[in-house]
Amino acid sequence: MTRRPLGENDDHKKGLLIATIGGILFTLDIPLLRLANPDGSIDHWTLIFARGIFLFTAIFLWWYFFRWRTHREPFLNGWPGIAVAGTNTLANILFIAAIGKTTAANLVFILALNPIFAAVLAWLVLKEDIPVWTWLAVILSFIGVGIIVWDGLETGTWVGDIMALIVAMCTAVALTIIRKTGRNVVTSLATGSLVSALIALTLAPTLYMPASSWSWVMLNGLIVMPVASGLIAISPRYIPSAEVAMFFLLDTVLTPIWIWLLFGEVPTPRAMVGGAIVIATLFAHSLWRLYRYRLTVMQASPAE
């Protein structure tokens, strides 16, 4: 039986701590945006502009001080960078719009489909084999989301639910492009944020928001989301990516709880059933992926 060296144990604990903090910070995205617009009176184009400008500023500053000055990397890394910027632009616009057109629970339940869409695209575009258990996860996840959208047809949230589906697809497309090309396209997220802000600038009836609203969006765009993204990006240095993926489920579980505590918003029973199917499926699939990873590592490690 092999034992993990003490230093490696310390790295694993560090990775778990980093991923946990990053995952929890991600769960604050929607609550902060809802706090910026608690009564829904602010036009979503105004919110898209504000969030886009702050996200662009944070990512651009990171790129300039930590990447361009040392590696001289281009801001848009070829056609993959342009393509990812395009998908991110659409995702930014629809994400903010969906917040006002569906419940927070429905939104995060549907956005959790991102890895499922990515797996299907990997099979279609990259010609990767999908294990039977992954196909089962795909089927069950779509059943769960189908229940949520079906409920939305009766409760009037179906437009926001469809928007959330498109956001999840945009993210999966971006991940597929990155996987296929291997390009570093982090700054494409900044470009997508800027383009969405410029589009919103032409469509927003007014850019006025109360000072408190600007503060919440600034906290979200300049601090919370950039730090969360950075921590999640760092954590695979210390723990397996299959383990990191499990921390994304925190968003699906905790965001509806924060929204319930802050605004008293409770999902419908049918949406809860659909969400429970999605969460249980993705959790079981993540555990299976982690088991496969550890089994592969054990088989590759020489016995002592």
Structure tokens at 118: 């990515």
What pLDDT sits at residue 4? 45
For helices 44-63 and 225-234, angle between their N-to-C axes, nearest 10 degrees = 50
Distance CA 216, CA 31 (A): 10
pLDDT in tens, 70-99: 666 677 778 888 998 999 999 999 999 999
Distance CA 189, CA 197 (A): 12
Between 83-92, 110-119, 180-189, the lowest mean confidence (pLDDT) is in: 180-189
The per-residue b/e assignment along 132-161, b for 16 or more CB within 10 angstroms, e otherwise, is eebeebbebbbebbebbbebbeeeebbebb
Give yes or no for a contact between 274 and 145, defined as CB atoms under 8 angstroms apart. Answer: yes
Three-class SS state of 38: coil
Distance CA 21, CA 13 (A): 12
What value does the mean pLDDT take over residues 24-30?
Answer: 94
Between 152-161, 191-200, 289-298, the lowest mean confidence (pLDDT) is in: 289-298
What pLDDT sits at residue 6? 42
Mean pLDDT of the chain: 87
pLDDT band at 166 (very low <50, low <70, confident <90, very high): very high
pLDDT band at 69 (very low <50, low <70, confident <90, very high): low
